[in-house]
Structure 1
Amino acid sequence: MNKLHGNIAIDGPAGAGKSTAARLLAQKLGYLYIDSGAMYRALTWKALHQGIDLADERQLVALAEATTIRLENTAAGTVKVYCDNEEITAAIRQETVSHHVSTVARVPGVRRRLVELQRQMAASNRVVMDGRDIGTNVLPEAPYKFFLTASLEERARRRYQELIASGRPVDLETIKEEIRRRDAQDSQREVDPLQPAPDAVIIDTTNMKVEEVVAKLLELIQAHHGVNTPAGEPS
């Protein structure tokens, strides 16, 4: 049986479940998981930490070019995020970062720099990378491309439960409005807008558990690869 080879691109809006599904899929396949969104969050965290004016694109691009961002997959299946060798895994999930990350991510020079890093990480051809422009821009040659989506209400509910579980007091309607705003920013930006690649398989996860999503992804990948590996076993 031929061993699976080729990068896997998973895109979609906030709260669609792409990060969790991508991480679990990578574990099952023995692939490296790359959370591209965490890289934009890391740079946003650093910009806020240094008091940089987020309206100053030149400063943001200079910051991106001078910043080292590293992702580390752990044995436990989690991903640690390092910015200039400082671990900031929890810090990048702060509300202030979530609120401003789209502003930083839409700067062309920032995107160019981080896309360059992402492509270097994917050079092995054995990565699962999730984000908003992976199939369309970062890894357009990836043989496996997916676009995960879900209703706004369901995406807000998931994010609400995630934040409550982490001990943060949040309001569901506030989260819904934040996701709606980010959807608009990501889909309407001039550079690499959020949209499915022409050859991506679109999966609506509204009524699916994450295990079902991963099983569906495996099924589609294996069908494309021409193998009949049982779900959960590496091909």
Structure 2
Amino acid sequence: MTERRKADDLNRAQQLLLCLDGLRYSFAIVLSCHARVRSALSTFEADWQSGAPANAVIQVVADAWAMIDATQRIRLLIERAPILPKNDPEFRIFKVGTSAVEHLRHYVQHINNEITGITGQAQPLWGTISWVNETDVLMQFSLFTGNQHLQASVPGLVFDRQEMRFVRTLELNVGIHIIDLDSLARRARALDQIIADWAGTIQFSDGQKYDYRPAIAPMVMMAVRTTPIAESHWDKSQGAQSTQDP
């Protein structure tokens, strides 16, 4: 094997490890944010007529949009990762099933144009979050993230009268775009496990196997120590600076 081939293989291996790290963290962000959103929304239900605490709503909105951003990162990293079996059916299904996140990423990147183009009633800038009640599957709530003085339309979940159920159980609705947040979490969890199983087959030249989900993250500590600085004063009689040790 030539030195050039060795260098190319080393670079590909390095790129794969970076992509796998990026995927692992991105999947974890989607799932942890989804869990926090679900937990917070359930606390809003009991006193829904009084509204939800603003600080808690901000966290929910941040987590919902973090799910969008992390899902888009997953899509990009899958395309970038060398030797990952991205053409397998599971990867293609994930890509098709999460394609809506690209529309919301475009929405955020061109948010100035989105505001300029609004006339009359509009949805809140960061969207409306709607979900099905956990104990009563025929009841739904919608969280209005905009100011109460905004002339806005608040959409709700679509109900299938034939199946007698809501089509989606948790969604973020922004303008004409709808993201099924429960579906994002399910797809992320499934593909994360597929990649974990695949990554478990990676073996390094020293015989060690790749650990996709390490229990410990390494840390580095650095401390800066300073030494006392000698006191300085001006010797007025000499017109020069002299130093005295403390």
TM-score by length of 1: 0.22
Structure whose alpha-carbon radius of gyration is higher = 2
- Highest RCO, 1 vs 2 (Cα 8 Å, sep ≥ 6): 1
